[in-house]
Amino acid sequence: MKSVIYAKTNKTIHRIGFGAWQLNNPLWGSMSEDEGIQLVQTAIASGINFFDTAPGYGNGMSETILGIAIQGRREQVVINTKLGHLADGTSDFSVESLESQILASLKRMQITYLDSAILHNPSHDILSGKTAHFQQLNQLKQKGLIRAYGVSIDTYEELMTVLNHVKVDVIEILFNVFFQGPAQGFQLAKEKGVSLVAKVPLDSGWLTGKYNQDSIFTGIRNRWSKDVIKRRADLIEDVKQITQQNNLIGPAMGFILSFPEITAVIPGIQSLDQLKTFVEVDFTITETVKQKLITLYQQKIQSNPLPW
């Protein structure tokens, strides 16, 4: 796995990271605390060293499991967590609460600093620099509680707002074969030295290729209407035709990684078998396939975006 410098720190990370929303989280199925710990420790042993979490993931259990799993390994890993949505299910985006939120995350993970802390889908006034959030985060960086800071956002418009109005070290962005809009802003992010982390790389499982219009969804995936399921299923068939593959994990991840501005990708790894896939699969695609996937987006999605 290729290594890159993360978020203007002196730490390097592998471009394949670990999204930790699913750890002991009933929204994503059944996973015990012990299974989560084993999964994280096996990921580290396999070479994955970038972990993305948040207090709201599993009501704090994602951070707790990560903290247990990395004991004795702190300097081997890079931990990114989020601010704004709390472990008790409430939200607080006040400037005054940022330090206490960071301290709470540090306590859950049993660590003394965060490699990065990012605001979790904040409002436009924050993204556009009309508040003191980033000044406060910079102070907390100087204090040593965090080593980098930024935001987690979803759209090209939000990306450009951030890049044009505030100074950040890292941006987590929704980007995959079905959500390509942010790519227009990648070059500017690179020019500003901002690390880009691609979230939801497999469109919540669709871009594995395992779902179709007859699939039944539960938990967090129950959000899609029948029409949305049918449309996604049709698009998946298009992707399979373009790539000439039924298992789409390789080309879906390869598409994202083909953008050199992307620092890391954070799939939600839910099992040891999935982990093995992400460690062993060759995530490369041809330029021809990449351009066909871009054309698919332009022709069938761009003017009528899919709901997340």
Q: Write the DSSP symbol of residue 268.
A: B
Strands 50-52 and 149-153, sheet pairing: unpaired
Band the pLDDT of 117: cuts 50, 70, 90.
very high
Q: pTM for this one?
A: 0.96
- Quick: pLDDT tens for 118-133: 999 999 999 999 999 9
Domains and CATH numbers, the chain: 3-204+249-285 (3.20.20.100)
Q: Cα(291)–Cα(296) distance, rounded to whole angstroms?
A: 9
* Cβ neighbours for 303, distance < 8 A, ≥ 6 positions apart: none
Q: What is the pLDDT of residues 57-77, one digit of tens each?
A: 989 999 999 999 999 999 999
Comparing 27-36, 170-179, 252-261, which segment has the lowest mean pLDDT? Answer: 27-36
DSSP 19: E
The per-residue pLDDT for range 79-116, each reduced to its tens digit, is: 999 999 999 999 999 999 999 999 999 999 999 999 99
What pLDDT, in 10s, does the model give residues 161-220? Answer: 999 999 999 999 999 999 999 999 999 999 999 999 999 999 999 999 999 999 998 877
Q: What confidence score (pLDDT) does residue 3 get?
A: 84
pLDDT for position 105: 98
Residue with tokens 């660590």: 111
184 phi/psi in degrees, rounded to 5: -60, -25
Q: 243 to each of 155, 188, 252, how far by Cα in Å?
A: 26, 30, 10
Q: Rounded to an integer, what distance in angstroms lies between the CA atom of residue 124 and that of residue 162? A: 9
Q: Would you say 58 and 23 are in contact if contact means Cβ atoms under 8 Å apart?
A: yes
For residues 47, 49, 54, 60, the Cα torsion angle rounded to the nearest 10 degrees is 70
